[in-house]
Amino acid sequence: MIGRLTGTLFVVEDEDVILDVGGVGYQLRVTERVRRVAMGVPDGVENVTIFVETMSRDDTFVLYGFASYHERVLFRLVRSVHGVSGTLAMRVVSLLGEEALIDGVCRQDKSIFRRVHGIGDKVANRLCHELKGKVESLVGADVLASGVGRAWSSMEEDAFSALVHLGYRRDDARRAVEKVRGEETVSMMVKSALRVLDA
């Protein structure tokens, strides 16, 4: 089973990316956050890490890719709910994102799940009911808390994720992003942060 891949990232189509690992191209179905992070990684940069969940479907293997360990944890939790397929769980995590998903479950806000195509009242109720205790225990144990509540824009979050995927320590990446918060795009922010880190 593949849990993580590191290589050179290529963006393809709307939902998939190809990660070149030692000359082998792995096609992954990824979240929106992975795509945004990919767009912020300068061309030709290697050692990009994507967390992976390997699932079998119709006699084939599907690799789901996530921008962080936290995203993968949430995917597994959503997937554990009765009647939720891997494809539907991916839509939930991709559309809602970590913070909104955790907040919605903790507040038992069924309406956020009904925003996801393929989810009606019955599944939304199950998601809120079955995930509440699991999500609260993980947040309380600080498994997910480090990714929630930072007073950053989505662009700054994506730049931070890109730096972590490039192999920098989370504390170093956080400090670098704080120093370049005025940049106009994720790509410019990552490039400026790399200069700070390499100084």
22-45 pLDDT, tens digit per residue, is 999 999 999 988 887 777 776 666
Q: Indicate if the pLDDT at residue 150 is higher than 60.
A: no
Note the pLDDT of residue 188: 84
Task: Please tell me the chain's helix, strand, coil percentages from 3-state DSSP, rounded to the nearest 5.
Answer: 55, 20, 30
pLDDT bracket for residue 120 (50, 70, 90): very high
CA angle, 118 as apex, 117 and 122 as ends, to 5°? 125
Note the pLDDT of residue 138: 67
Note the pLDDT of residue 27: 92
Structure confidence by residue, pLDDT tens digits, 72-105? 989 999 999 988 999 999 999 999 988 788 888 8
Name the burial class of residue 82, with classes exposed (0-12), middle (13-18) and buried (19+) by CB atoms within 10 angstroms of its CB. Answer: exposed
CB within 8 Å of 170: residues ≥ 6 apart: 146, 164
Structure confidence by residue, pLDDT tens digits, 161-195? 788 777 788 788 888 888 887 777 888 888 888 88
Q: Which of 97, 99, 79 is nearest to 89 (CA)?
A: 79
Beta strand 24-30 pairing with 48-57: unpaired
